[in-house]
């Protein structure tokens, strides 16, 4: 936050100074972070918890529920049948190496042909 002090009037400067003094007073009344952490840690231990259990190991740390859900999700992935390859159904007559299974978005070559009035059935692989 950059404030151009030269553009402020005397009244605006006084207001800014008073706001800064209030903020400085508020910050000076706060206890140091290390002291607050120590107090929280002691309180958590007294109740039978660990700080990591209560707050995680950081902002991006998963919660205990998410950790418990991971093994179930991994087991579900292992029991699924793997998706097999699908044989192509359509072939480009200009370039026989280009094929399409009929799944997903149409390839550009097929979209160009169908856009010019040709039917999809013309490209079926027999």
Decide which of 81 and 9 is more confident.
Answer: 9
- What is the extent of the structural domain holding 64? 10-79
23 & 75 share domain: yes
Number of structural domains (the chain) is 2
pLDDT at 53 over 60: yes
pLDDT at 84 over 90: no
Mean pLDDT of 34-59: 84
3-state secondary structure the chain: CCCCHHHCCHHHHHHHHHHHHHHHHHHHHCCCHHHHHHHHHHHHHHCCCCHHHHHCCCCCCCCHHHHHHHHHHHHHHHHCCCCCCCCCCEECCCCCCCEECCCCCCCHHHHHHHHCCCCHHHHECC
96 & 37 share domain: no
pLDDT at 83 over 60: yes
pTM, 2 dp: 0.36
Identify whether 85 is part of a domain.
no
* Mean pLDDT for all residues in the chain: 84
Share of the chain above pLDDT 70, in %: 83
């Amino acid at each position: 936050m950059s404030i151009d002090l030269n553009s402020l009037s005397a009244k605006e400067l006084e207001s800014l100074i008073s706001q800064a003094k209030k903020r400085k007073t508020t910050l000076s009344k706060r206890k140091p972070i290390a002291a607050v952490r120590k107090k929280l840690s002691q309180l958590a231990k007294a109740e039978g918890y660990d700080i990591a259990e209560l707050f995680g190991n950081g902002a991006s740390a998963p919660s205990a529920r998410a950790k418990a859900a991971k093994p179930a999700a991994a087991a579900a992935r292992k029991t699924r049948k793997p998706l097999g390859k699908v044989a192509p159904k359509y072939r480009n007559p200009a370039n026989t190496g280009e094929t399409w299974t009929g799944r997903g978005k149409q390839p550009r070559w097929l979209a160009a042909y169908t856009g010019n009035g040709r039917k999809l059935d013309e490209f079926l692989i027999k």
